[in-house]
Structure 1
Amino acid sequence: MGSLGDHAGAAGGGNARVIAGRYRLEAPLGRGGMGVVWRATDLLLGRRVAVKELARDETLSDAEAEQRRERTLREARAVAQLRHPHVIVVHDVVVQDEQPYIVMELIEGGSLAGRIARGGPLDAHAVARMGIDLLGALSTAHDAGILHRDLKPANVLLERGTDRVVLTDFGIAQLSGATTLTEVGSFVGSPEYTAPERMAGERTGPESDLWSLGALLVTALAGESPFRRDSIGGVLHAVVFDEIRPSAAVDPLLPVVLGLLDRDPDQRMGAAEAEGLLRVYVETGRMPAVVRERPGAGLPGHSGRSGLPGLHGLP
């Protein structure tokens, strides 16, 4: 999904759609496999908002489409209960013509992905502060039993004028214990930012979101994902097996990055430890020495598992 602010568009005129008798859809802000995000106006309150329109899947039966719709609404309502300055605010969830729409705050600015594409990597202090903000957002979601499952630079917004960091696109988020928006066994997420245990279909928990954050921090510091390869098969192999060798640009935050990118989810650095280290760096400009015992799991390329279902035969 494109970010809320990376794509410009003129406001719609008299032909703009109005949904639920209230929200006027004016210009697309981003498009992706999950649907379209619109710049819109709340005609009742007279404020600008963003509206996410879930893409229709014509391959689904009526019953499957209804299940998908209910899951979307359930998950959107759960995210709407989250209250954190770095989590996107969900104002409303409406259904029109059996199609769900999620009404969110409009973040004027662009995504972290767009910022990196235009200006290159960020400095370590800025990345450390961003990491603290995102750890707070994730902890709030995790405490509420919500997993993001697609944390990546395109889903992190940077508000123009304030540099506020906002985590968005919980559209494929998972409620703990609930079925996700996709059929069981299908892949959801962005491979370069997806934890190896999810790649292997083993389990998904808060620690999987923390792996994604580790990959995101490397991208912000170095300008590209540490797992970028020429093919999807190469990406999957890199995530699960390849030695992780961040560039020198990552050195200031290296203990946090390596802790979050531990391939053993049981040994992966937790949110509290990562936040504490980042705060020390922001305050002092130095990263404390970190000694982490990692029998086996800390070896280069060690994944703690014998193989990855579905990896063989990929290009």
Structure 2
Amino acid sequence: MSEVPGDDRLIAGRYRLLGPLGQGGMGVVWRARDEVLGREVAVKEVRAPSGLASSDVQRLYARLEREAWAAARVSHRNVVTVYDVATEDSRPWIVMELIRGLALSEVLDAEGPMAPQRAARIGAELLAALRSAHASGVLHRDVKPGNVLLANDGRVVLTDFGIAMVEGTSALTMTGELIGSPEFLAPERALGRTPGPESDLWSLGVLLYAATEGNSPFRQNTPLNTLRAVVDEELPPPRRAGPLGPVVEGLLRKDPADRLSAEQAEHELRIIAAGGSPRAAGAGTPDPYAPTTTADTLTPRAPLPVPPPPTPELSTTAEVTPAGPPRRAVTLLAVGVAVLLLAVGGIIWTLADRGDDGDTGGATGSDPGATSSAPHTTPAAQEAPASAGAQGGSSTGDGDTAGKAVGGGSSHSSTSKPPPQTVTVYLTSVRGSYEGGCPPPHASAPAVEATVTVGRTPATVEYRWVLKDGTSSDPGWQSLSFGSGDGRAKQVSHTELTYQQDTTYHGTITLEVRSPVAVTSNGVEFSVTCRTETPSSGASHPAED
């Protein structure tokens, strides 16, 4: 039964179209219901432009089928899942996983440039998707904000493999045809050279630049001028990217062989996403993960500052060569002495300070081993873990992290604040409709299930179920607790008993969170049709339209 009364369009006898999700120059993506499995899906329909030659239409449809094949080869949580390729009206229709959320392009248009930490998290997830695709022999060739979905459940999903290239297949494009968006095109592709995985990395670099700066670096007034800028112009220095800047510059090197590797870039992005500031390789700087080929690259990029050793009197004469050990050995000896003195000083300081910290605040539930390693700080610094505990219910996890950071020699970690708590909610339909006598039985009434995910534990989430008109569905505000040992995701279920006698009630249910942060889930539609029971000897009349 369709969720939209009167809409009976069925594709391949199985997929009922419920409504359009998006539309572009190449076609429409529909929200649909798989009548066999009883789940919602996304169905992509291609509409060939009018006036296109028959051969070009067939080539367009072949590309669409290749999209399904290419995407189906990639099995990864950050890549949209393809379920089926159906045929209707002599055209292929791709049946995919329904992702509820917004495109990255829509988020950037609505909110403006992103903070580097958020952009880094998105970039790391996209890199994981690209690495999986590349390992399967698939190049995406059109990585851009419009092809990235930020799902309500927290996932970052790469979509639209319609112009992907698969190793071992023949090209389905005409000679000279431009494939991809010019401003995200890698220089080697703009020059007509054979692309590789590095071309997708370039496009990701442009995406990260645009996400933090608010504009892509090489966009010009015409596609031709944009391609010229991609090939010839220097990268405008990023000004808002912060710690993300060196990674962006490393991905946007003109020569594919000089770009950051996918492994190194993902490593750096995950550090930035966690609040760190890695020393990523910038433009013109050797990739620390790349194999070294010259003696110059063996020199550490950031050696420890070492006080110069005492200079003997004979060193003032250039002709005199000391007979002792080489200068490098003397330097290493000085480094060792300095490290030893620092270690001894740290032990003495810790023992002297332990007497003032006999009570480590065990009420917070922190790991004793972690809290004992934290040095005595100013009152302002001591209040930071307490504020984190107020957000999440306890400071256990952050205290342990801070203790490890202090033990590792990071002098500023004891005063750093933990990242803010996050909550994401995603609703799915368990039963979408009911028809019969009212009130509907609890076991047959419409029902939904919500997946609630928090950024860290412990945490307590206060939520309620809300109808389309804004009224709260019984029993009002509820609490969902995440213990320190629990996972970050839990499910809660709800059965909706709202109805209107002798008619059909159409509604939408959402889950609203007010603490620790305010967020509202996607809406799930439902319907309740109340039928008046008639005696067995009587006659019923069909309802009039």
What interval of TM-score do these two structures reach, taking the shorter chain for normalisation? 0.7 to 0.9
Give CA-to-partner distance per residue, 1:81-111, whole Å, 9 cap, x none: 3211100011111112210111111111110
1:118: which partner in 2?
110
Give CA-to-partner distance per residue, 1:185-223, whole Å, 9 cap, x none: 211111111111111111111111110000000111112
Question: Which residue among 62, 74, 80 is the counterpart of 1:88?
Answer: 80
In structure 2, list runs of 5 or more residues that go unmatched.
Answer: 287-545
1:4: which partner in 2?
none
1:202: which partner in 2?
193
2:342: which partner in 1?
none
Q: CA deviation at 1:247?
A: 3.2
Q: Structure 2 CA distance, aligned partners of 1:209 and 1:180?
A: 18
Q: Structure 2 CA distance, aligned partners of 1:34 and 1:279?
A: 35
Report how many residues are paired.
283
| Structure (1/2) with the larger strand percentage | 2
2:213: which partner in 1?
222
Q: CA deviation at 1:172?
A: 1.4
2:161: which partner in 1?
170
Identity %: 49
1:242: which partner in 2?
233
* Matching of residue 23 in structure 1 with residue 15 in structure 2: yes
* Matching of residue 184 in structure 1 with residue 175 in structure 2: yes
1:36: which partner in 2?
28
* Higher RCO, Cα 8 Å, sep 6+: 1
* Matching of residue 54 in structure 1 with residue 46 in structure 2: yes
SS state at 2:281 partner: coil
Contact 2:70–2:161 (Cα < 8 Å) also in 1: no
1:298: which partner in 2?
none
1:155: which partner in 2?
147
Give 1 or 2 for the bigger CA radius of gyration.
2
Of 77-86 and 87-96, the range deviating more from structure 2: 77-86
SS state at 1:285 partner: coil
Letter paired with 1:259: G
Q: What is the Cα-based RMSD across aligned positions, in Å?
A: 2.1
SS state at 1:257 partner: helix
Letter paired with 2:54: S
In structure 1, list runs of 5 or more residues that go unmatched.
Answer: 1-10, 296-315
C-alpha change, 1:51 and 1:163, in structure 2 (3 Å) is: same
Q: Structure 2 CA distance, aligned partners of 1:56 and 1:291?
A: 44
2:92: which partner in 1?
100
Give CA-to-partner distance per residue, 1:274-295, whole Å, 9 cap, x none: 0111123234521215366579
Q: CA deviation at 1:60?
A: 2.9
Letter paired with 2:207: L
Of 219-228 and 102-111, the range deviating more from structure 2: 219-228
Contact 1:77–1:93 (Cα < 8 Å) also in 2: no
Contact 1:211–1:261 (Cα < 8 Å) also in 2: yes
C-alpha change, 1:34 and 1:270, in structure 2 (3 Å) is: farther
* Matching of residue 270 in structure 1 with residue 261 in structure 2: yes
SS state at 1:28 partner: strand
Q: Structure 2 CA distance, aligned partners of 1:230 and 1:71?
A: 29
Q: Structure 1 CA distance, aligned partners of 2:183 and 2:162?
A: 18
- TM-score (norm. length: structure 2): 0.49
